[in-house]
């Protein structure tokens, strides 16, 4: 079922992991997908090949989603791909940057993490709205950390993601009259490069063991939830945060 046939979607941070899985899934469902990446063109091109292998169509849009002039260029590329129209925005770009306690971090580090994870969502949403038709959909990517404060050294990241969750609710109210639905997903421990980089193997093993389903999640499982929230199947879901964590944490 090509439920996104004729629609255009922009996925920020679409080059790898959950971003790649989301880009491929939306393309397989018929969307023209604009894959944003910041610096790793090789990964972005690999995502594009995966999209084409799934029978879909995608284009690449390079730029730093935390910088307004770059965001304008990215959204302009999305508009060209969609003939002046952008139906779906997935605000997925983000990251931990580093694990630092409040004693270790300085103002510049705090600002960097907040910009990457929260300011970027504001910038992309604001830039995309003039191209979004009534009835469009925005899906933001928050985190389990937004509710539980995150692991050691993740206070800036957790704070930013909590902002994403509440920005989602605010936009759901503000954009509701245009029938633009705004939702978010909040992944827990997902097998991605994020945890390869920032989480010790023994911690991952322990968390997986504590999870009722007994494992980490997969990027494709998050992508499936994002595609659902962006689709007409979720036509009366608005302002929701969907927890994807195997049951280890309940909202």
Q: Which residues are catalytic?
A: 157
Can you tell me the distance from the alpha carbon of 96 to that of 98, in angstroms, rounded to the nearest whole number? 5
Pairwise CA distance, residues 173 & 157, whole Å:
25
* Distances in whole angstroms, Cα of residue 33 to Cα of each of 76, 189, 202, 230: 14, 26, 37, 13
Q: How far apart are CA 128 and CA 9, in angstroms?
A: 11
Reading the block at residue 237, the tokens are 């879901």
What 3-state DSSP class applies to 90?
strand
Burial 212-226 (b: 16+ CB within 10 A, else e): eeeebbebebbbebb
Whole-angstrom distance, CA of residue 140 vs CA of residue 119: 12
d(Cα 138, Cα 91) in Å, to the nearest integer? 8
Burial class for 160, CB neighbours closer than 10 Å (0-12, 13-18, 19+): buried
Q: Answer yes or no: are the C-beta atoms of 10 and 93 closer than 8 Å.
A: no
């Amino acid at each position: 079922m090509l439920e996104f046939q004729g629609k255009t979607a922009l996925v920020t941070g679409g080059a790898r992991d959950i971003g790649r899985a989301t880009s491929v899934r939306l393309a397989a469902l018929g969307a023209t997908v604009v894959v944003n990446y910041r610096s790793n063109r090789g990964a972005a091109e690999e995502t594009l090949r995966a999209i084409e292998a799934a029978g879909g169509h995608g284009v690449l849009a390079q730029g730093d989603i935390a910088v307004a002039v770059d965001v304008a260029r990215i959204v302009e590329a999305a508009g060209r791909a969609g003939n002046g129209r952008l139906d779906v925005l997935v605000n997925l770009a983000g990251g931990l940057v580093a694990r630092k306690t409040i004693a270790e971090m300085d103002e510049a580090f705090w600002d960097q993490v907040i910009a990457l994870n929260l300011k970027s969502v504001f910038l992309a949403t604001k830039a995309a709205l003039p191209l979004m038709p009534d009835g469009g959909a925005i899906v933001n990517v928050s985190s389990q950390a937004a509710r539980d404060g995150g692991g050691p050294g993740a206070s800036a990241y957790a704070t930013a993601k909590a902002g994403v969750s509440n920005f989602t609710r605010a936009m759901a109210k503000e954009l509701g009259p245009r029938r633009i639905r705004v939702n978010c997903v909040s992944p827990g421990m997902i097998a991605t490069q994020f945890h390869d980089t920032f989480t010790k193997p023994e911690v991952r093993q322990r968390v997986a063991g504590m999870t009722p389903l007994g494992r980490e999640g997969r990027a494709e499982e998050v992508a499936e939830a994002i595609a659902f929230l962006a689709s007409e199947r979720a036509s009366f879901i608005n302002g929701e945060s969907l927890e994807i964590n195997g049951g280890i944490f309940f909202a």
